Chains A and B, each alone.
Chain A
Amino acid sequence: MPMLAKVRWPLAFAGLLSPLALARYINVINPASPYTKDIAPLLWVALVMSVVVFCGVAGTLFYVVHRFRARADTTGEPPQFRDNPKLETTLIIVPIILVGVLTFMTAATLAKVSAIPKGSLRVRVTAHQFFWDYRYLSSNVRNSNELVVPVNRPVEIELTSADVIHAFWVPSLGQQREAIPGSINKFTITAPKVGSYYGECNILCGAGHANMRFRVLAVPQSEYQTFIKEAKAYAAPQPKTAAEKRGYKLFMATCSACHRIQGTSANGRIGPDLSYFGSRTTMGAGVWPNKLKYLEPWIHDSPAVKPGSHMPPFTQLSAQQVRDLALYLESLKLPGLNFRSLPQI
């Protein structure tokens, strides 16, 4: 018993933290990210200034309230002084110097983070209500909602929108830009370690705004090359089981006008590209894990599970037909790749 008492607190503490350890830890000043390293000096200077200014002003305020409050024995009137030019001038000049330093550092830092390094991987990102479309400009490989990038290599995002204004934001990687129809916004992100990074649309874009998420999957360079090679050469595998065959037929009859599956006659451009849907880790624009139990209700009635979804409900399909479609989609995999074990960041 005495031994248990000794470890009780550390145990309780660990117990409290364990669910947190499993949680996705998104952090806009993720210290591992190269972006944060670039802006760290600016942030430190600003933080020190903020603390000094806050303590100085708040401290003075509390001193004044404590020292000068009228008490029961306060009589007469306080000194009626009106100004103190020296002090006032100082209180104007010092802040001007502070913001001058910050402005200078901002300009320098901005120049640093805005430069687009040579050898960046270029990806065209097109935002839609309510999903993301990616095209790798060097290989013309397409994918939706999950952007596969090599770790530690700058990725130049060329951002645009097909409809309203959206914003591309991967908090842990820094940067953020608006996706504007009719123009292209360029910036770079670099993923510092292997993992699945959480991304979000960050300009109100309609009813589905909160469900317009995505992932950046950072993989080792070799795995990335495999991905590009396989994706370029990809032709959807032939349906094998009876269910997959029924699903394939149904897909070509019902879904192909809006969705594309590389290597089949389905070539729609209205909805997300589903070529290697089975290799995705998430579905519904990064909202649910890619599992049958989420996929089936989605196919059955997409607007019911994601308000505002432009995919029409297919309530006329039987449960069996929905299952067939889902099984077919899950069979569409890139050989030799599995992103599901990537750590969540």
Chain B
Amino acid sequence: MAINIPGATRTRPGFWEVLWDYMTTSDHKRIGIMYIVTSIVGFSIAGVFALGIRTQLAVPNNTFLVGNTYNQVLTTHGVLMLFFFIIPFGLVGFGNLLLPLMLGERDVALPRVNNFSFWLFFFSLVIYCSSFAMGGPASVGWTFYYPLTMQGGPGVNAYMVALLMNGIASLLSAANFMATIINLRARGMSIWKMPIFVWSILATSLLQLFALGGIAAASLTTLMERKLGISMFNPAIGGVPVLYQQFFWFYSHPAVYVMLLPYLGIAGEIASTFSRKPLFGYRVMVLSLLAITFLSMLVWVHHMFAVGLPETWQVAFAAATMLVAVPTGVKLFNLIGTMWGGHLQMKTPIYWLIGFIFNFLIGGISGVALGLVPFDYNVTASYFVVAHFHNVLMFGTAFLVFGGLVYWWPKITGHMLDERLGLWHFWLMEIGSWVTFLPMYALGFLGMPRRYYTYPAGNYLWGDLNMVSTIGAFILAIGGVVWVVNMIRSFYTPKVGDNPWGGYTLEWATTSPPQPYNFAMEIPSSFPSERPLYDWAKRGIKPKAIDPSTIALPQPTIWPFITALGLTLIGYGVTYGWFNTGWNADTVTIYAGIIVTFIGLFRWAGTPEYDRPVRHHTVTGIPNGLLGMSWFIVSEVSLFGILIAGYLYLRLSGHAVPPPQRPEIWLAALNTLILVSSSFVVQAAERDLARGRPTRFRLGLLITMILGALFLTFQIFEFTSFGVEVNMAQNLWASCFYLIVGLHGLHILIGGSGITLSYYQATTGKIDAHNHGSIAPAALYWHLVDVVWLVIVTLFYIWR
């Protein structure tokens, strides 16, 4: 990336130049901006769809959007709002934009993985949206309940593939953020001096890593049943449909907090800056973030009370559900405590904050009400629930999307948003939300179900309340237009200073917008509190300027983008076809995708991150790649853990009975031997590298690759011979076997590719005694695959 010298004249770059720049960049700010722009696009499309929904429901027996069309619009509204607006905007949008700035660093831990994540995320949106033109989108609701997903066209496949891609992107980002926060902090900034927003991103990333396996399992099993007929849920072969809901909600409840936590961080930053005070109870706020992270993983069953699970379960989950309200309440109390006694600067951001606290209070109370199981029976899946989650999401956290955007807009663009238009935007959204969503609480009490495209005339007040709600939706739309006008207009206003709001955190210490290297100064190592700029001003500490030309930044590269593109091609092929359907457009797409992916990966591995040798300061001394991989592995363990838990449940409850013919134990034993020894070989190879024996190192990798290939060959032999004996689609145990052991086989392939990449780096001279390339994370991943295999051998082969 070219370094822009301030004051140097430059011509305005053309469109293709800018596009190329964004395709190849590893700059966290640009990537953050791309996430934000994509999220705004997702929000706009979903918003237009919301208007469609409200138009249909304005009057009884309307015929604007009926039946399946309505269901498609409804599904898309939910999918885009959740997975392409509220989740990415806070976590990866603001997260990428601000994390390195707030930590006083130059970039995230793994800048090129970051680029890859973004493009994979972007293409997942493309795959979902293009299903409109290719057979119609999914019409099963964003919750894609089994077995409704087994009916209908390829839209469901597109949704599943998009979710899986989106999930991988999100997990890589989460692992990246964890590595960044742990490894890259300005000298002197201990974790207890990090801004609250950084803590909120840490908590959210943890939550993603631990819980996302749930939805990955749900979408993977759905896709595999649609493609191969193997099922853990099909009651016709003894499967349990409710197990699907367990998988799904295991993530999708924590996801609600993924949608909330980053915004609580934003709320903290706004409250402190605009009250001119430190946060009230910083430590308690951090602990409550972590408490929410933990508790939110124990409440998923409250979405399933009507499933009819045992009462003791229901009470336990009801208790946990209500308990989450405690740390969440603490957040609200402490935000108010932060404002108490301050000099509140009544600018747009604090309006959004106050609106958030007020609205979220209502949404929180209605959420506790939903935890009262007997009452939940009455109103679950009714408009009461619709009102509740729009209350916490739309006129709850989305208010902090706007608040945060107004707050950091001068940092992103160098311009201010207009106050008057900003207040119009706020009041239109606030009043629009109340008019749209508060009547829905009443509709819930009056027995109106969610996801109905039509309702009869003559049900007491249904027509009137729906009409009011539709009017509100259009008020919201006007608010949205004002917002967009305000953003565009701001570019025609004069530039403002670097810190127009008087912010206290490090991002306000640099230029607006920041240069690619973020800081042209040495960050002082004095961090008495989480408000460095305040403390430094008090103590008269002034950062020392440094010459930006001495700063090394990662060089731009197109290969992460190409890799994402390759995976997208595979995604398209899998959506509309399969691997073995003869030579047609779909199989060509799949195999072309595989080739493109590997070209991308190898060229990526072959391109050094920096164009000159660079020494980095890290907090722990552990390499960033290894640290990132360690966190990513948490998500892999979670995915396998969830699938295996499902299998254990089916097996122990007597649903999945192993067929008399079982895969041979001796072959599994041989494969175990192969895999375990390969782990030792790769371990030895790493040691050889550290001791400066490159030839032995290369040989070790080669042996590992051969062992991996042997393992796969035996497994393919076993899969085909077992497949002759047992029809995997007709036997629940065999379904579980093929699903879980097959997924492990895929991981062998991924892990083996990782080892191969390192081998490629070693043979092309990219790895030496100082630069270890990607061997450390690749070896760690290989060990994971090995450990998972030991669990699988025990559960599928030894346990007769």
Q: Are both chains from one complex?
A: yes
Q: Contact: B329 with A78, CB < 8 Å? A: no
Q: Contact: B374 with A42, CB < 8 Å? A: yes
Residues of chain B contacted by A171 (CB below 8 angstroms): 378, 382, 446-447
Evaluate whether A28 and B306 lie within 8 angstroms (CB atoms) in the complex, with A174-B377, A210-B455 already known.
no
Q: Measured between alpha carbons, how far is A181 from B150 in the docked complex, in Å?
A: 13
Q: Measured between alpha carbons, how far is A64 from B451 in the docked complex, in Å?
A: 40
Minimum C-beta distance from B541 to chain A (A): 17
Q: Measured between alpha carbons, how far is A21 from B298 in the docked complex, in Å?
A: 46
Q: Measured between alpha carbons, how far is A82 from B460 in the docked complex, in Å?
A: 52
Which of A137-145, A200-208, A258-266, A293-301 is found at the contact surface with chain B?
A200-208
**Which residues of A47-67 have CB atoms within 8 Å of chain B's CB atoms?**
50, 53-54, 57-58, 60-61, 64-65
Q: Contact: A43 with B343, CB < 8 Å? A: no
Residues of chain B contacted by A164 (CB below 8 angstroms): 145, 147-148, 151
Q: Measured between alpha carbons, how far is A83 from B340 in the docked complex, in Å?
A: 11
Q: Measured between alpha carbons, how far is A208 from B460 in the docked complex, in Å?
A: 23
A-side interface residues, number (CB < 8 Å): 88
Q: Contact: A203 with B145, CB < 8 Å? A: yes
Q: Contact: A110 with B315, CB < 8 Å? A: yes
Quick check: is B680 within 8 A (CB to CB) of the other chain? Answer: no
Q: Contact: B449 with A65, CB < 8 Å? A: no
Q: Contact: A205 with B148, CB < 8 Å? A: yes
Q: Which of A77, A114, A198 contacts B276 (CB 8 A)?
A: A77
Quick check: is B445 within 8 A (CB to CB) of the other chain? Answer: yes
Evaluate whether A111 and B311 lie within 8 angstroms (CB atoms) in the complex, with A204-B140, A207-B71, A209-B451 already known.
yes
Closest to B345 in A: A70
Residues of chain A contacted by B145 (CB below 8 angstroms): 164-165, 203-204
Q: Contact: A106 with B315, CB < 8 Å? A: yes
Quick check: is A135 within 8 A (CB to CB) of the other chain? Answer: no
Quick check: is B336 within 8 A (CB to CB) of the other chain? Answer: yes
Q: Measured between alpha carbons, how far is A167 from B141 in the docked complex, in Å?
A: 15
Quick check: is B275 within 8 A (CB to CB) of the other chain? Answer: yes
Q: Contact: B451 with A23, CB < 8 Å? A: no
Q: 0/1 per residue, A156-189, Cβ < 8 Å to B?
A: 0000000111010101101111101111011100
Q: Contact: A207 with B68, CB < 8 Å? A: yes
Q: Contact: B460 with A24, CB < 8 Å? A: yes
Q: Which of B325, B341, B459 contacts A99 (CB 8 A)?
A: B325
Q: Which of A26, A69, A102, A308 contacts B372 (CB 8 A)?
A: A102
Minimum C-beta distance from A177 to chain B (A): 5
Q: Which of B346, B373, B456, B461 contacts A110 (CB 8 A)?
A: B373
Evaluate whether A107 and B315 lie within 8 angstroms (CB atoms) in the complex, with A24-B458, A57-B336, A177-B308 already known.
yes
Closest to B280 in A: A83
Q: 0/1 per residue, B140-174, Cβ < 8 Å to A?
A: 11010111100100000000000000000000000
Minimum C-beta distance from A112 to chain B (A): 8
Q: 0/1 per residue, B306-333, Cβ < 8 Å to A?
A: 1110010011001100110110011011
Q: Contact: B71 with A204, CB < 8 Å? A: yes
Q: Contact: B240 with A183, CB < 8 Å? A: yes
Closest to A102 in B: B322
Quick check: is B375 within 8 A (CB to CB) of the other chain? Answer: yes
Quick check: is B249 within 8 A (CB to CB) of the other chain? Answer: no
Quick check: is A13 within 8 A (CB to CB) of the other chain? Answer: no
Q: Which of B70, B307, B451 contacts A178 (CB 8 A)?
A: B307
Minimum C-beta distance from A81 to chain B (A): 7
Q: Contact: B330 with A110, CB < 8 Å? A: no
Q: Contact: B342 with A165, CB < 8 Å? A: no
Minimum C-beta distance from A201 to chain B (A): 8
Q: Contact: B341 with A308, CB < 8 Å? A: no
Q: Contact: B368 with A54, CB < 8 Å? A: no
Question: Which interface residue of B342, B369, B377, B456 has the most chain A CB atoms within 10 A?
Answer: B377
Q: 0/1 per residue, B338-360, Cβ < 8 Å to A?
A: 01111111100000001001100
Quick check: is B241 within 8 A (CB to CB) of the other chain? Answer: yes
Q: Measured between alpha carbons, how far is A111 from B334 in the docked complex, in Å?
A: 37
Q: Contact: B341 with A78, CB < 8 Å? A: yes
Minimum C-beta distance from B767 to chain A (A): 49
Q: Contact: B284 with A167, CB < 8 Å? A: no
Residues of chain B contacted by A201 (CB below 8 angstroms): 449
Q: Which of B281, B307, B372 contacts A180 (CB 8 A)?
A: B307
Quick check: is B543 within 8 A (CB to CB) of the other chain? Answer: no
Residues of chain B contacted by A69 (CB below 8 angstroms): 344, 346
Quick check: is B365 within 8 A (CB to CB) of the other chain? Answer: yes
Quick check: is B454 within 8 A (CB to CB) of the other chain? Answer: yes
Residues of chain A contacted by B461 (CB below 8 angstroms): 20, 23
Q: Which of B311, B339, B373 contacts A65 (CB 8 A)?
A: B339
Q: Contact: B375 with A42, CB < 8 Å? A: yes
Q: Contact: A176 with B326, CB < 8 Å? A: no
Q: Measured between alpha carbons, how far is A182 from B450 in the docked complex, in Å?
A: 25
Minimum C-beta distance from A64 to chain B (A): 5
Evaluate whether A91 and B361 lie within 8 angstroms (CB atoms) in the complex, with A103-B319, A177-B306, A307-B68 already known.
no
Q: Measured between alpha carbons, how far is A257 from B444 in the docked complex, in Å?
A: 40
Minimum C-beta distance from A105 to chain B (A): 8
Q: 0/1 per residue, A15-44, Cβ < 8 Å to B?
A: 000001011111111000001001100110
Residues of chain B contacted by A252 (CB below 8 angstroms): none
**Which residues of A75-106 have CB atoms within 8 Å of chain B's CB atoms?**
77-84, 87-88, 91-92, 95-96, 99, 102-103, 105-106
Q: Contact: A68 with B340, CB < 8 Å? A: yes
Q: Which of A22, A99, A172, A204 contacts B322 (CB 8 A)?
A: A99
Residues of chain B contacted by A23 (CB below 8 angstroms): 458-461
Q: Measured between alpha carbons, how far is A203 from B145 in the docked complex, in Å?
A: 9
Evaluate whether A186 and B151 lie within 8 angstroms (CB atoms) in the complex, with A53-B365, A58-B361, A181-B235 already known.
no
Q: Measured between alpha carbons, how far is A42 from B345 in the docked complex, in Å?
A: 42
Q: Contact: A182 with B235, CB < 8 Å? A: yes
Quick check: is B780 within 8 A (CB to CB) of the other chain? Answer: no
Residues of chain B contacted by A183 (CB below 8 angstroms): 235, 240-242
Quick check: is B381 within 8 A (CB to CB) of the other chain? Answer: yes
Quick check: is B657 within 8 A (CB to CB) of the other chain? Answer: no
Q: Contact: B378 with A28, CB < 8 Å? A: yes
Quick check: is B791 within 8 A (CB to CB) of the other chain? Answer: no
Q: Measured between alpha carbons, how far is A96 from B322 in the docked complex, in Å?
A: 9
Minimum C-beta distance from B286 to chain A (A): 12
Quick check: is A211 within 8 A (CB to CB) of the other chain? Answer: yes
Q: Measured between alpha carbons, how far is A49 from B379 in the docked complex, in Å?
A: 19
Residues of chain B contacted by A29 (CB below 8 angstroms): 378, 445
Q: Contact: A61 with B358, CB < 8 Å? A: yes
Q: Contact: A175 with B372, CB < 8 Å? A: no
Q: Contact: A70 with B343, CB < 8 Å? A: yes
Quick check: is B191 within 8 A (CB to CB) of the other chain? Answer: no
Residues of chain A contacted by B455 (CB below 8 angstroms): 210
Minimum C-beta distance from B384 to chain A (A): 8
Quick check: is A113 within 8 A (CB to CB) of the other chain? Answer: yes
Evaluate whether A308 and B67 lie within 8 angstroms (CB atoms) in the complex, with A54-B362, A65-B354 already known.
yes
Quick check: is B452 within 8 A (CB to CB) of the other chain? Answer: yes
Quick check: is A74 within 8 A (CB to CB) of the other chain? Answer: yes
17 contacts between A and B (CB under 8 A): A27-B446, A28-B382, A57-B357, A60-B336, A77-B276, A78-B276, A106-B373, A110-B315, A164-B147, A174-B378, A176-B377, A177-B306, A180-B242, A200-B449, A201-B449, A204-B145, A210-B70
- Not counting A81-B278, A83-B281, A165-B241, a sample of 12 additional A-B residue pairs whose C-beta atoms are within 8 angstroms of each other reads A23-B459, A24-B459, A28-B378, A28-B446, A39-B375, A50-B365, A54-B362, A69-B344, A82-B281, A102-B368, A106-B371, A177-B306
* Interface positions of A (Cβ within 8 A of B): 20, 22-29, 35, 38-39, 42-43, 46, 50, 53-54, 57-58, 60-61, 64-65, 68-70, 74, 77-84, 87-88, 91-92, 95-96, 99, 102-103, 105-107, 109-111, 113-114, 163-165, 167, 169, 171-172, 174-178, 180-183, 185-187, 198, 200-211, 287, 307-308
* Interface positions of B (Cβ within 8 A of A): 66-68, 70-71, 139-141, 143, 145-148, 151, 235-236, 239-242, 275-284, 306-308, 311, 314-315, 318-319, 322-323, 325-326, 329-330, 332-334, 336-337, 339-346, 354, 357-358, 361-362, 365, 368-369, 371-375, 377-382, 384, 444-447, 449-456, 458-461
Closest 4 CB pairs of A and B: A182-B235, A307-B67, A171-B447, A26-B447
